[in-house]
Structure 1
């Protein structure tokens, strides 16, 4: 079965409310289970990098909801491609807080993206490295 994998990056709109990673993850898990979407959401409190994969119509609908969400700005699609098998398995979220050890966090992102294609894995790992330096 062919599926769609979509990867985007966005920034948190200054002054946006409701950016609680636990709440976002809980709601995403409900929506994504319903829609058969899996992927990875990386968040460091100011930026999001997300991979969504699943049925084409469901992934496109989820992305449309994200683009309409007023908490996001500067949304840029990085990749959109057909895949034959899920690369991320179950839905996961990597979230960096100021107290998170940078090397440990980068290791977690690497583990979560281990089954992704080399280009997708490199996108997540390099994003985590750059955000560590920020």
Structure 2
């Protein structure tokens, strides 16, 4: 079973753009290994992310995100069963917040 999970959170003030780029690069490798695709949008300290993939893998990843001390206020927005990923072969990419809103409404 494949799912799509969307959440928001807030990065801690000490997180830099270089930190976010590093997180995105590591996530791309990890996610591809676990058949997870997704998109990450960051505006200031606000984060919105959509994850897709096998239910168990996405749920484990989201549990890890909730425990991650680099951000707080993690709020699950939606979880839906899907037939196929909407982000194709993206292990993880970073896009502007407006792109994630546009993509979310087109999925």
Could you tell me the TM-score, scaled by structure 2's length? Answer: 0.83
Q: Relative contact order, CA 8 A, sep 6+: which one is greater?
A: 2
For the structure 1 residues 63 and 94, does the alpha-carbon distance in structure 2 shift closer, same or farther, using more than 3 Å as the test? Answer: same
Alignment partners' CA distance in 2, 1:23 and 1:30: 11
> Which structure is larger by alpha-carbon Rg, 1 or 2?
1
Is residue 19–residue 71 contact of structure 1 (8 Å, CA) maintained in 2?
no
Q: Equivalent residue for 1:98? A: none
Could you tell me the TM-score, scaled by structure 1's length? Answer: 0.68
Moved over 6 A (4+): none
1:13-92 maps to which residues of 2 (within 5 A)?
13-16=12-15, 20-91=19-90, 92=93
Secondary structure of the residue aligned to 2:33 is helix
Which stretch of structure 1 is more off in the superposition, 82-91 or 51-60? Answer: 82-91
The answer for unaligned runs of 5 or more in structure 2 is none
Kindly tell me the number of residue pairs found equivalent between the two proteins. Answer: 104
Higher share of residues assigned strand: 2
The answer for unaligned runs of 5 or more in structure 1 is 96-104, 114-119, 123-134
